[in-house]
Amino acid sequence: MTYMIDKIARAMHASVNGHVQPPPTWDNQSEQSQNYWRIGARAAIVAMREPSDMMIAEGHYIVDVPCAPDEEVANVIDIWEAMIDAALVDE
């Protein structure tokens, strides 16, 4: 798995199990249980691949690339998609 998938899986696991006392630790989970959380984490990352209009607007504001307006939007989306794709690639 990738670093980001594992990081998100651990965060999801902790947020759901935080109310259990003592909270189960990630390292004490079976491989099957960890993979369950990794599948959910991967799905969450994939769901974020298409940025919202607000995300595009903020990216456009941050990335000051001199080009035509349509090209600027495409550049921001390309950057975002490349970042998400990188999060899904095994390291």
Q: What is the pLDDT of residue 12?
A: 93
Q: 56 with 76: CB under 8 angstroms?
A: yes
Q: What is the pLDDT of residue 22?
A: 79
Q: What is the pLDDT of residue 56?
A: 84
Q: What is the pLDDT of residue 73?
A: 62
To the nearest 10 degrees (0 to 180), the angle between helices 31-47 and 69-88 is 170
Q: What is the pLDDT of residue 41?
A: 96
Encode pLDDT of 33-83 as tens digits. Answer: 999 999 999 999 999 999 998 888 888 777 765 555 556 567 888 889 999
**How long, in residues, is the chain?**
91
How many of the other CB atoms lie within 10 Å of CB of 54? 8
Q: 5 with 40: CB under 8 angstroms?
A: no
Q: What is the pLDDT of residue 66?
A: 57
Q: What is the pLDDT of residue 72?
A: 57
Q: What is the pLDDT of residue 75?
A: 81
Q: Where are the alpha helices (DSSP H) in the chain?
A: 3-17, 31-47, 53-62, 69-88
